[in-house]
Structure 1
Amino acid sequence: MNRTVPHAETPGRRAPGGLRGPFRRWPRSADATLAAVLFLLTGFLEEGPGDTMAVRPMRDILHPALLLFVVAAAALCQRRRRPVAVLGVILAAWAPTLGTRYSIMGGLVIVALYSVGRYADDNRWGPPGVAVAVAALVVEALFHSTAWGDVGFGALVMSGIWYLGRRLRLRAERAARQRREQAAEARRIVTEERTHIARELHDVVAHRVSMMTVQAGAARMVAAEDPRGALEAMAAVEEAGRQALDELRHLLGVLRPDAERDGLGPQPGLADLPRLVAEVREAGLDVSLTGTVPGPLPARVDLSAYRIVQEALTNVLKHSGPGTRTEVRLRDEGDGITVEVLDDGHGAAVRAVATAHEGLPGHGIVGMRERALLLGGALDARPRAGGGFRLTARLPTKGEPA
């Protein structure tokens, strides 16, 4: 029963965080652009003196190695779907150029290794791919007499980029698994709350039907001697039947398990709020009740409004502690009622919400929102700017329930 407001989103392959760059918004276009840029850099640049890069002369561009550059760069367009095959194609294209002035496919190999770590489903191909790439570096060093320190640095970069991709994939999988667990937990809580509501509404409907039975029996007994009294009794039966049908709409589609909740008795309503407020005051909460709702309410609205206030006060007591100043406000909106529960919290409620977001959602907010939605209303719960928490529920009293 915490103050978490769950967001049960559909699990996907989305990585944690809210930023979405071009490689996530337009993956195919971004990969094609990346492949084109790497092809241009590989085909038109070459190593110059002193570890510099120079533009390749035009006569050297039209070389058979250019075909290898095209194949290797084009393979990158499939790096998300077939990362292992892409790495194999690029390594195969790199091999004939080793020891020549066209052996500058390091950038393509690095992107392919990252893709294997990030998108490959089979973990076994990563280390062998890194080993083959490092072996190609060693062969290249033997041809050019490269310092072994440079070879070691290149091997570290290649293995590190693969490991980075792998870590990002594991992180994304953990985030997706957590979202699935949160969605499953939210569905379980909603089902549990709907079952609880169905049990309560069952008692209300049973009460209406019992009244109809008694009134109909009385009308039958006095029909011959007091026709007017019989008509009044049947009118009462009709009204009770309408109310029972209205309540039964809430039971459609809701599974009611065989296990019953312990305890029988009349269901509470807004008329019982003063008693509830007195009980919470005894627990140490500084509660005030303002506003009234004139006229009788439908039983489902009366019960749900009471339960929402009860749950909200329980949350205040749990998360802000005794001594918290709390106000319960009731307003009649004509076609519905508004229930508002505010507390100062001294900042504790705000911290509780931030901490609760880190775990799985509790029953409190989920149950209250489900009650409001079943009535066709809405519920808003959020921290207040100056500290504390505000919960507002709008419950319609007319029209069809959701």
Structure 2
Amino acid sequence: MTTPRTLTTVRTRLRPLRETDRDLWVRLHTDPAQYPFAPWARSDVARAEELLGAALVHWAEHGFGYGVVEDRGTGDALGVGGVIHGRDRRNLNLYYRLDVPHQGRGLGPEVARAVSADALEHGPALPLTATARPDHRASIRTAERSGFTLAGAAEEGAVLPGVPAVVVERARANDPADVPGPVVLVAPRAEVWRRPFDAETREAVLDLWCATNDSGGAVGFLPGAPRERVAEALAAHEEQMAARTAVAVLLRDPHDAVVAAAWWSAAANPLLGHRRTAYRVMSDPDRRGRNLGRLLMAAMHRVAREDGVEVAELGVRGGTGVDAFYAALGYEEVGRLPGGIRVGADDDRDDVWMARRLDGRPLLS
């Protein structure tokens, strides 16, 4: 997030906010239909223009912020959304507001999922939060589908897991005293391990690995594999970590539960020092559909770039549909061995190799 960039989703494009977006911004923030759950929060024209000015200053100072959501096909403006620093710069705040005619089309989650992953990959290393009125179920569901966990209500004196105190204090600063406080949701935080895990983390990762495997995830074993065998594979990865040839990246929810994990592995050959291979990419099967895979890979890419990695690689088991997930993240197929993975009798799958560059250059010319 150091330079203005445009994010794309299947149906939308999110571009940086501009001065010429004044009419759209003012209309969205003064329209009573936009505030059915908090009518007191609606701005007048002067206040909306003041907020626009602050949003433009944020872009100028930080190179990221709120943007305009456009239809990829027509270029029509659909709303606004993005991430900015919270007050006192103790957190990042996720925000999305679509024009009324475009609500109910699933565009909010589509944009919020992309913005959240982008913030984790490129933004400041701060807690990523979102607030919503407690009765605004659609807004809460959007945040949850983007990977956020409900931390609780921002009532006076509340201590919410993973939420800086200043966020709780300011969340309802402009609310009437007689209404319930807004709820705060928190995105998972990344945790990097360059040495073997402590005992508690090891058990949490092992639990996740077994659960992923038993739910059919392609993480090295068939469903029902004994826990001891998975533990042996985990110990092998920890040996690599001890030898500094592997790095583990975990995601934890605000309650400290490990909800996703993966490893980067480096080859011993110094000629391959600019490359890393991702292994055992897994997320909590009980939270599927909540953007954890995308958030995990965003964290993985961030760690790899910080380590100077230029090319990321990974293997995919054919027939799982996972290749489409990685393709959406910029990975391209660079090799395929038909029938290279034997899942069971009469069930051979292709062994697919995918890669992408992390330095902005194209992988394939």
More helix by share: 1
TM-score > 0.5, shorter chain as reference? no
More strand by share: 2
Please indicate the TM-score interval, normalised by the length of the shorter structure.
under 0.3
Larger Rg: 1
Question: Which is bigger in relative contact order (C-alpha 8 A, separation at least 6)?
Answer: 1
Give me the TM-score of the superposition, normalised by structure 2: 0.24
